[in-house]
Chains A and B, each alone.
Chain A
Amino acid sequence: MVVLIPLAKIAIAISILLFIVTYLVYFERKISAWIQDRIGPNRVGPYGLLQSPADVLKLFFKEDIVPSAATKFVHSLAPVISLTVAMSTYAVIPFGPDIEIFGQKVRLIVADVDVGILFILAFASIGVYGLTLSGWASNNKYSLLGGLRSSAQMISYELSMGISVVGVLILAGSLRIYDIINSQQGWMWNAFIQPIGFITFVVAAFAETNRLPFDLPEAEPELVGGYHTEYSSLKFAMFFLAEYANMIIASCLITTLYLGGWHLPFIDSATLSYGLMPLISVMIFVAKVLFLLFFFIWVRWSIPRFRYDQLMNLGWKVMLPLSLLNLMWVALLVYFFKI
């Protein structure tokens, strides 16, 4: 039992992840189409629902091209790094309160580590290696530029992201994600208490996941495909998967850190039967994450890409001071109100 439960949790987490990614791609295409007054994929299966599996199948059968001038080992290593990092970050993200199965207390998290947030930030930084190495190993000027941009962008935005998170940590008094969520019961969502930190974190999350308006490492019009220009077949699929997995992580993270995890103001106070509560909590959590994922896609199809100098200006001259301001605000709150 001791081994079985974590294994089951890992299996469930990964299959849910893959399922969500598949349909995230589908909805990305659908929503982009709707926003542009089009219909979107609707030919493969009913309502085009089998489009994404078909795409994956297609990628399976494509030839895997490695440029002759590429550094072969690193070239194949890079997508693996991206994907592994993206997948393992899920381990520390909880998606519901404790539940009881067969008299056993089960936490809805793969690994409840004490340094949860730190773990996520650390892994997010490793993820950059995937992009940078792929850009360097491809031996292609566009890829290299994409890789360089991604590393510069990550460094600039990770800073403000980290400082925004510190505000949350001060309020929660713990690095453990459970404690952070439980410190936001009722209306005490961090998004309301520290709105500036919320905004800086969301913007930094967009930059970290390489989504528009910060998708400079890819930037199709200027860099062809950026870091993944020279990738094809399954290696490309891995990058693709990693990007969407990162999006889900970012959404989960925003939900846990700022939107109160599985807490909703009125549900907590309502007297619900004990058995129903975990189910509703998980549903609330998933609903929040899905809304954020929609938000990610929605923003992508609304806002144009930043220019590189604008990106750097925003990162260092706006985001960093703002997140520091937020930190001071939280410190003052704690000092005066002893929240």
Chain B
Amino acid sequence: MRITDHPILGPAEAGREITIFYNGAPVPAVEGEPIAAALMNAGVRSFRRTAKRDEPRGIFCAIGRCTDCMMIVNGKPNVRTCITGAADGMRVETQYGYGGRKEQA
């Protein structure tokens, strides 16, 4: 859920509204915001699955340190979505294991 009005920070800055694609499905985003923010707003909580035990991982640090939020972005694996800006038409996919798609896991 977006925090459009905030008692201290006031209204959110209006950015350009764009669309990114999460596992193929369109998700609204604001240009330049972290991919993770757009996904979290859309209710996505699991970003990748681990190699050994196939466990889900989601946002943990939100500042690029923990790597829990890595996904495949425009075909490139291991992108930290909490510090990578969203761009129109971006394709974002759940990452399995060390950088593969589901069928490769």
Do A and B share a complex?
no
Query: Which residues of B are in contact with A by a Cβ distance under 8 Å?
Result: none
